[in-house]
Amino acid sequence: MIYDHLLIRYGELTTKGANRAEMEQLLERNVRRALSGWPEVRVTRSQQRIVVQLNGAPVDATLQKLQQVFGISSISPVAVAPLNLEAIQQKAVEVAKRELMDKSTFKVEARRGYKDFPLDSPALQKAVGAAILRALPHIRVDVHRPEVVIEVDIRKSAAYVYPSRVPGLGGFPVGMSGKGLVLLSGGIDSPVAAWKAMKRGLALELVHFHSFPFTSERAQQKVEDLAAVLTTWAGPMKLHLVSVTAIQSEIQRAAPEGLRTILLRRMMVRAASRIADEVGAGALVTGDSLGQVASQTLPALNAVDRATEHTILRPLIAEDKLEIIELAKRMGTYDISILPFDDCCSLFAPKHPKTHPKLRDIERAEARMDVESLIAEAVASREEKWVLADEALGASASYR
């Protein structure tokens, strides 16, 4: 196997100054977690790179796993050579013979991260290119539009030779930005919001509000499946299942129909804030997109914000619905989200919700309810479970 290592690069982390070492350690830990299924793999960190020594682990499968790790800008399967010119040339020829079988042009790009290496980058490029031309006389150099670019990266411990860079997810390592609590419905938007929050470095716990027995067990399973898909990028997650049946009954009794959705959302945020305090989450995360539905107008969002002291992060706030759907499809959550099992919001949605609710009307309706007792009862009803990636049921197949 010519490519026996993977070279991992990270982008935004390199701009983070004094905190960079801690962030690199976090990324290294996340890489180790992603590759834990291959105990033979060895992961090391040096000179703003993470190097994965495969030791026989499959290149394609490990590469695919690393493409699901936030904080990585690109990955290259690499051939490793000791730090002498002859060995580097030999390894570059091996790479060229593999990659140029049906190609006719190439160029060499060299980087000398280890400055004690005797040749500078231009001289190394020339020497490696000459060796390849001697071994493969039917090909030629094209510095402007080469079919293959063979890169040589000189590091303190070794030289890495490779022909490609596979894009990573970018962003920050999960956990770098603290912890958030996602209000996870069974819809399209909230899983995508969770994914975007993870990309900015948030570790997540999830909370789902249900109205059992009015919502079915299949609706809950749908949410657990969505949560299982999300664990692909961050490992096991804790899911909190909270009943709002009593809250909805009281809202129906005490409030005008047009305010029921916004009142329920304020109750959910209050309950989520209690849970966030317990689990050490610094923010709530929702799938709101400005103006998408009646409860996501500016007055409605402002009314929800007033119900909590926690920051509410809305990663999708300026996203178009078609953009959200496209990302949901790429993530693998879309086919699960569109399954026809109502959540508590859609089941009790009013026919004519207020799009510009006034805070005084909302507070007047809440004054007719024992808000504190309702929130305490909802939080006390909570069930907790850990969701693992291998628990994902796989789109809609399990429901047929």
- pLDDT tens for 244-276 read 999 999 999 888 888 999 999 999 999 999 999
Its pTM stands at 0.88
Q: Are residues 273 and 364 in the same domain?
A: yes
Q: Which CATH number goes with the domain that contains 252?
A: 3.40.50.620
Query: What sign results for the dihedral spanned by CA atoms 223, 31, 36, 56?
Result: positive
Structural contact between residues 78 and 7, judged by C-beta atoms closer than 8 angstroms = yes
The answer to the question of whether 209 is labelled as a binding residue is: yes
Q: Are residues 145 and 259 in the same domain?
A: no
Residue 44 in any domain: the answer is yes
DSSP strands (E only) in the chain: 5-9, 42-46, 49-53, 74-81, 105-112, 140-141, 148-154, 159-162, 166-167, 179-183, 203-210, 237-243, 283-285, 311-313, 383-387
pLDDT of residue 295 exceeding 80: no
The answer to the question of whether 356 is labelled as a binding residue is: no
Domain boundary (122, 143, 167) is at: 167
What distance in Å separates the CA atoms of residue 148 and residue 374, rounded to the nearest whole number?
65
Residue 221 in any domain: the answer is yes
Domain that holds residue 230: 179-396
Structural contact between residues 398 and 225, judged by C-beta atoms closer than 8 angstroms = yes
Q: Are residues 212 and 140 in the same domain?
A: no
The answer to the question of whether 287 is labelled as a binding residue is: yes
Residue 240 in any domain: the answer is yes
The answer to the question of whether 138 is labelled as a binding residue is: no
What distance in Å separates the CA atoms of residue 207 and residue 183, rounded to the nearest whole number?
5
Q: Are residues 149 and 209 in the same domain?
A: no
Q: Are residues 138 and 185 in the same domain?
A: no
Domain boundary (167, 195, 228) is at: 167
Average pLDDT estimate for 334-349:
73
The answer to the question of whether 212 is labelled as a binding residue is: no
Q: Are residues 162 and 27 in the same domain?
A: yes
What percent of the chain shows pLDDT beyond 70?
A: 92
- pLDDT tens for 178-216 read 999 999 998 999 999 999 999 999 999 999 999 877 767
Kindly report the average pLDDT of the chain as a whole number: 90
Q: Which CATH number goes with the domain that contains 158?
A: 3.30.2130.30
Residues in the chain: 400
Other beta carbons less than 10 A from residue 345's beta carbon: 22
Question: In the Cβ-directed half-sphere of 208, how many Cα atoms lie within 13 Å?
Answer: 31
Q: Are residues 67 and 96 in the same domain?
A: yes
Residue 194 in any domain: the answer is yes
When pLDDT is cut at 50, 70 and 90, the band that residue 220 belongs to is confident
The answer to the question of whether 32 is labelled as a binding residue is: no
How many domains, in total, are found in the chain?
2
Domain boundary (135, 167, 199) is at: 167
